[in-house]
Amino acid sequence: MKWSDWSLTLAMLLLSACGLQTDVRLRKMPDSSMEPTIRKQEVVREDFSHFAKQSVKRLDIVVVKDPGRTQQTLIKRVLALPGETVRVVDYRTYVNGKALDEPYVSLSSSAPLTPLLRVADFGPLTVPAGEYFLLADNRIDSYDSRLWKKSTLKSQEILALVQASSN
């Protein structure tokens, strides 16, 4: 951890000890799904007040409710917004027919791969109003919109904005 990370951690602990609430939390990335942007076990900041002030944007990294498990959360990247048509071809994302520039995408994994998570092609899908399509940066090792029973999440299921501690 860098000095600024320790400072933030100490400040949050002091606020908690004084009984003050903070809408920013720190946690370790639990898996490799967002590599190389966020490494497994890297500490990230989760800002739970961000979306009360600003709307969700493409490329935001967010904390979302896991659609498959009620008490779990996931960290993913927003790639398609309401009304847009998204398609994934050979792990490459297209929105409204145009390929996104995705220098952050990884097609390798340090973890043993689960064959069910290897979804190279998806869609096309038009994202419903008030909903979003999310993918992880590590496209071959992630449980994301391509695999969810309902491939999009409602805006109220997006809980926080994420920043890697190294940013």
Just list the catalytic residues: 33, 76
**What is the C-alpha separation between 90 and 93, in angstroms, rounded?**
9
Distances (CA, A) of 114 to 26, 28, 88, 117, 158: 28, 22, 19, 6, 26
**Tokens representing residue 56 in the block:** 């969700």
> Which stretches within 18-75 are classed as H helix?
50-53
Residue of 147, 125, 1, 126 whose CA lies nearest to 74: 147
